């Protein structure tokens, strides 16, 4: 619902009723007075209620996401700069600053959690779904390069020794990087096993 018409004894009462039904704060709306209230004969005969049309203002999910992040960083006393890059339907927020390792966590786990929360905040009231990727000082590209090198090295080990290799648990995105890095090797097969969040990639010889 993006608009509603409500009545009340006063314009303020009518607006309050609309806010309650729309479940938004007053800073999120515009309103139009359709009928001003008036007092009738002797103060009650022919009394006319106020009538307003309240419209929810469209919001920019990217602005919501950036505000969400900046509030978190402010609470953490981090001085950061956010660079936004949009390619197709994905917007990357690359966070830059000093001593930002705390935002990454082990193998990007903290960054992934923060990305999940940011997408929740951005899409909560958005008219269309948006997809936001969070990065810190280009960490994700560095991690991708590391995983590709790891996949190549382990693939060579498997071909040389003939024994399968089971990697440590990874996120679905990181597992995908491993699979794609080895997908064209005719002697290697990769697959995932286990349950989230402990799902692992297995590299083995094709039989």
* Predicted confidence (pLDDT) per residue in 33-82, tens digit: 999 988 765 555 557 889 999 998 888 899 999 999 999 999 999 999 99
Cis peptide before 197 (omega within 30 of 0): yes
Residues 6+ apart with CB under 8 A from 5: 18, 34, 51, 52, 53, 54
Question: With 80 as the cut, is the pLDDT of residue 10 above it?
Answer: yes
Give the integer Cα–Cα distance in Å for 136 and 147.
17
Ranges of each domain in the chain: 3-56, 61-137, 141-205
Question: Which superfamily is assigned to 141-205 in CATH?
Answer: R3H-like domain (3.30.1370.50)
In the chain, beta strands by DSSP E: 3-8, 29-35, 50-56, 80-87, 90-97, 131-136, 165-166, 188-193, 200-205
Residues 6+ apart with CB under 8 A from 163: none
Question: Percent of the chain scored above 70 by pLDDT?
Answer: 96
Question: With 90 as the cut, is the pLDDT of residue 125 above it?
Answer: no
Decide if domain 61-137 falls under CATH 3.65.10.10. no
Name the DSSP letter for residue 23: T
Question: With 70 as the cut, is the pLDDT of residue 129 above it?
Answer: yes
Give the integer Cα–Cα distance in Å for 69 and 82.
9
Give the integer Cα–Cα distance in Å for 20 and 36.
20
Residues 6+ apart with CB under 8 A from 168: 200
* Predicted confidence (pLDDT) per residue in 172-199, tens digit: 889 999 999 999 999 999 999 999 888 9
């Amino acid at each position: 619902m993006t608009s509603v018409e409500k009545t009340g004894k006063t314009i303020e009462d009518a607006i309050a009723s609309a806010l309650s039904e729309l479940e938004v704060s007053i800073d999120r709306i515009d309103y139009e007075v359709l009928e001003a209230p008036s007092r009738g004969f002797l103060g009650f005969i022919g009394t006319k209620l106020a009538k307003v049309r309240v419209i929810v203002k469209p919001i920019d999910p990217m602005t919501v996401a950036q505000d969400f992040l900046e509030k978190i960083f402010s609470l953490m006393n981090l001085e950061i700069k956010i660079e936004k890059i949009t390619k197709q339907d994905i917007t990357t927020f690359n966070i830059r600053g000093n001593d930002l390792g705390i935002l990454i966590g082990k193998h990007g786990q903290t960054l992934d959690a923060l990305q999940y929360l940011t997408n929740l905040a951005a899409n909560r009231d958005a008219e269309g779904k948006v997809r936001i990727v969070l990065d810190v000082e280009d960490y994700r590209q560095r991690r991708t390069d590391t995983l590709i090198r790891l996949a190549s090295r382990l693939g060579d080990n498997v071909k040389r020794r003939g024994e399968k290799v089971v990697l440590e648990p990874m996120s679905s995105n990181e597992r995908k990087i491993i699979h794609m890095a080895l997908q064209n090797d005719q002697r290697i097969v990769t697959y995932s096993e286990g349950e989230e969040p402990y799902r692992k990639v297995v590299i083995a010889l094709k039989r």
